[in-house]
Amino acid sequence: MDAYHAALRFAMRTGGRLSDGIRLGYSEGFNAGVMVDYVYRNRPHGVTPLGTFIDRVMLNHPVWRGVRGRRQLLVGQVRTALAEAPGQRLFDVAAGPGSYLFMLPAGVGTLWAGDRDPDEVARGAARVAREGRDDIRFVASDAFDPATWPEPSFDILVASGFFDILDDIEDVRRLLRAGTVGTHPGSRWVLTVMEDHPDLALLRDVLVDWDLGPWVAVTRSAEEVVEEARPLGWEPVAVEREKERLFGVATLRRVR
């Protein structure tokens, strides 16, 4: 770790905790679902006005702006996929709190949200109950094991922010194989990837992952994921990038 990252790590773990977002990141992981939801809301909070100011600086970082742009593209592509036919079955393989699902209109299909974290499943189910969205269902499942998925085959899969955290290409391939088992020809897969980042070493040296260890991340293009998916019968339908050019969002269609 260089001197800059060491100093930044010390500052964020001490005075930075005046920021609600930084404190949440260190307690849950900076790429955990609850943290990403906090970034989506984009409303700074902190202990004292200084804490709120630090929070605003954090939320305005280009990466978090890119995350919010990624979500807009994701919702747009999911809406397009759902509009192709009535009553489709959608499954987010690692949904976390699945907040984007509540941005979709009711009645467009059956929306399943899977996650292996029971806290995320409970949070999502509680929101379903509060908002009366009986079309959204949260379940405990393993993204890599389609035997744990709530139905044997889905019309639409979603992986938002999940490919982004798979630093091992073999895990990418495992996930693509699982998605192929859990779909049929004609199914679509809407996914996001982190294509670039201004400082990957900062993630590792300063921040923490969802398991509270160093956040080890790699970047890969949407086209790289497409090429891994092609041998399994998937072809690209759309690829978009948000304004910061850090994240790509793609829709794939299973053709065989």
pLDDT tens sequence for the chain (256 residues): 789 999 999 999 999 999 999 999 999 999 988 999 999 999 999 999 999 999 999 999 999 999 999 999 999 999 999 999 999 999 999 999 999 999 999 989 999 999 999 999 999 999 999 999 999 999 999 999 999 999 999 999 999 999 988 989 999 999 999 999 999 999 999 999 999 999 999 999 999 998 899 999 899 999 999 999 999 999 999 999 999 999 999 999 999 8
pLDDT of residue 164: 86
Domain ranges of the chain: 3-61, 63-254
Please tell me the number of Cα atoms within 13 Å of 93 on its side-chain side.
31
Amino acid making up residue 95: A
Contacts by 235-242, CB closer than 8 A, 24 or more apart: 237/188, 238/77, 238/80, 240/73, 240/77, 241/73, 241/195, 242/66, 242/69, 242/70, 242/72, 242/73
CATH number corresponding to 63-254: 3.40.50.150
pLDDT of residue 8: 92
Yes or no: say if 215 and 30 are a contact pair by the CB < 8 Å rule.
yes
Residues in the chain: 256
Interaxial angle between packed helices 3-13 and 20-28, expressed in degrees from 0 to 180 and rounded to the nearest 10? 100
pLDDT of residue 165: 86
**β-pair type (183-194, 109-115):** unpaired
